[in-house]
Structure 1
């Protein structure tokens, strides 16, 4: 096996200094008044031997790795996967690469991942953070490392973030169900102290208060094992058989909920109307199609990477933080409409 070619090998072959080779490879030949003929000889040999620079060594030397760390709850989730892809495309256009990871909403795992990213000398951090990592994020910011949050934020940390108006989103969806004639509307969501989940619960409760309706709130512990979500969801629906509409707090719990509704022999929307937070193809293809709160995926991704790139631009003023809240769209489909028609007949 041939050994990896180094700058020293190239310098020795051409009988020049490794510093000269380094200047040429880093685009500083003209600044250092290195002849075009020598530049051509070095680049020709580099191509012939297939020299690949050591990215870690270069980052230590220059202080930049051109890598951004992206930390999300679950990279396999369609919401996070779609945003990640859009961020990756925009970052690549600007010369940056993305390293992804899933935190599973686990604070200890998140700390380990932050340590890994710091060891890799990533230039910036984009994250949908779990709770209890406030001090870790503050350390990053104090070290001069840019941090942009999305989907949720940490109230005690002053940094850039991009979120949607979660409270109005669930308020609007709940009012829609009430206006359709549904009077026993449940909200089933994951148990969480994260900002976006608390806002969604508040929106639901406020809409019921304004409509003078009683809340039916069920919070389920987050788990990657779907069976541990379906079990308490099934028990709740069996216990509250008079519920005539359900608003699901996330797309994941929404798909689990649709499975349970089918297993219980209930028809949508005749027995129970359904609306879910987050809109994607499964809801559009379900029979009947499911009403859903659509987040502006492209706008979220575009704002997140724009904030990060601005932070990474040494010429930009990086001492101000931006807090951006975007609107959602309630896509109304058959799953939440039929009750009012039936009541009118």
Structure 2
């Protein structure tokens, strides 16, 4: 806990070092410091509960140190929530956040990363989970610290850290929930498979259905001309209408994410199908909006807050040493059962926010 009465002089005195040494530790300038000195200063900082006065630091340096955050679009509430948690975690550690929207474009990612480095920003969190990463190679090799959010280190070729949900398990968990309710024909609905996390969720659901011998179909809804891929709800609505038109036999639907699931609910209503009486729907993410829908959206939760904190901590650590080997942190998904899923043929009203 922060102790506002403790000063940098107190830390230096108790650690037996100079004030400049404490300042170097606080600002990440540790290259010429012995491990024993660094450990001693850090221990005293923790014991005394010292936190530097950020306002005073900004007055002295003339600026707040920044990290970058690249997301597809904050028009999607999921990424708005991610930005909020990343900013909170960064501010608690003395950093601000510069946010940019990439629309899942590798060109935009590269241009923003170049702009960050030109402005002296040394670290970036990447939220797009694009399959290819080489467009970032020159910046990474020139010292930009990067952390990828919501993708794993599989086939990683660059020194980047990874903070991700176990997306394959999340897709499997969603499908298994529907199967536990007696659904023997399941559809998986997705936007275009441009990112690693989308592919992993689909593969997890497919594999779970194959193991159980359950009928499985995929509706990959392409983006219409002039339609932004970030219009997830509309993509979901269109997908529901497409499934209805082709006469799907699915009684349960797994949506790639919650925003797409929200659109599915609208499209199913439009096509005359009731949720959950005629068809059950489950999403992935556990966006805060899901609990306020009617019916409430069953989903697979990813621990956004904890993942955002981990991403910030990893990018700050990597900024100290960009040559370190890639780190990977994988978070476990959690099933959240609400009213949008039910036993086949039975009207089911589970307790709101029931978790399994």
Q: Quickly name the TM-score band, shorter chain normalised.
A: 0.7 to 0.9
Residue 228 to residue 340, structure 1, CA distance change in 2 (3 Å): closer
User: Equivalent residue for 1:85?
Assistant: 84
1:142-200 Cα shifts (integer Å, max 9, x gaps): 11221111112573433101001111111121111112111111100112142211111
Question: What SS is found at the alignment partner of 2:99?
Answer: strand
Match of 1:186 in 2: 187
The equivalent residue for 1:7 is none
Shift of 1:73: 1.4
Give the RMSD, CA atoms, in angstroms.
2.7
2:260 equivalent in structure 1:
253
Q: Which residue of 1 aligns with 2:305?
A: 298
SS in 2 for 1:215: strand
Instruction: Name the TM-score, length of structure 1 as normaliser.
Output: 0.75
- For structure 2, which runs of at least 5 residues remain unmatched after alignment? 1-22, 25-58, 224-228, 349-356
Indicate conservation of the 8 Å contact 1:180/1:340, yes or no: no
Give the equivalent residue in structure 2 for 1:137: 136
Q: Is the 8 A contact 1:181 1:339 kept in 2?
A: yes
Query: Normalising by the residue count of structure 2, what TM-score does the alignment of the two structures yield?
Result: 0.73
Q: Is the 8 Å Cα contact of residues 122 and 143 (structure 2) preserved in structure 1? A: no
Partner of 2:331: 326
Q: CA deviation at 1:77?
A: 2.1
Shift of 1:52: 9.9
Deviates more, 1:319-328 or 1:125-134: 125-134
Q: Determine which of 233, 238, 251 is the counterpart of 2:245.
A: 238
Checking the alignment, whether the CA contact within 8 Å between 1:107 and 1:130 is kept in structure 2 is no
Show the counterpart of 1:217: 218
Deviation at 1:90, TM superposition (A): 1.9
Work out whether residues 221 and 235 of structure 2, in 8 Å CA contact, stay in contact via their aligned partners in 1. no
Q: Distance in 1 between matches of 2:303 and 2:90?
A: 19
Structure 1 distance, partners of 2:118, 2:322, is 26
Q: Distance in 1 between matches of 2:96 and 2:342?
A: 45
Q: What does residue range 278-297 of structure 1 map to in structure 2 within 5 Å?
A: 278-297=285-304
In structure 2, distance between residues paired with 1:227 and 1:163: 26
After superposition, give the CA deviation of every residue in 1:217-261 in whole Å (9 maximum; x if it has no partner): 111235245656533441223313432111100122111111101
Cα deviation, 1:281-302, whole Å, max 9, x if unaligned, reads 3321222212101110111011
**Alignment partner, residue 101 of structure 2:** 102
Change (3 A) 1:196 1:317: closer
Structure 1's unaligned 5+ residue stretches are 1-26, 29-50, 56-64
Call closer, same or farther: CA 1:340–1:302 in 2, change over 3 Å: farther
Judge conservation of contact 1:129–1:153 (CA < 8 Å) in 2.
no
C-alpha distance after superposition, 1:271-319 (max 9, x if no partner):
101101111233212222121011101110111011112223x4x6851
CA distance in 2, matches of 1:288, 1:231: 20
Aligned position for 1:205: 206
Could you tell me how far apart the structure 2 residues matched to 1:152 and 1:273 are?
28
CA spacing shift, 1:227–1:78, aligned 2, 3 Å: closer
Task: Report the Cα distance in structure 1 between the residues aligned to 2:216 and 2:82, rounded to whole angstroms.
Answer: 33
Q: Distance in 2 between matches of 1:325 and 1:78?
A: 22
User: Does residue 1:275 correspond to 2:282, yes or no?
Assistant: yes
Contact 1:131 1:193 in 2 (8 A): yes
Match of 2:35? Answer: none
**2:282 touches 2:299 (CA, 8 Å); kept in 1?**
yes
Look up the SS of the partner of 1:76 in the other structure.
coil
**Number of residue pairs matched?**
285
Residue of structure 2 in register with 1:157 after alignment: 157
SS of 2:120's partner is coil
Q: What secondary structure does 1:234 align onto? A: helix
**Residue deviations 1:27-85 (CA, integer Å, cap 9, x gap):** 99xxxxxxxxxxxxxxxxxxxxxx99775xxxxxxxxx721110011123222222221
Q: How far apart, in 2, do the equivalents of 1:238 and 1:86 lie?
A: 41
In structure 2, the CA distance between the partners of 1:86 and 1:140, relative to structure 1 (3 Å rule), is: same
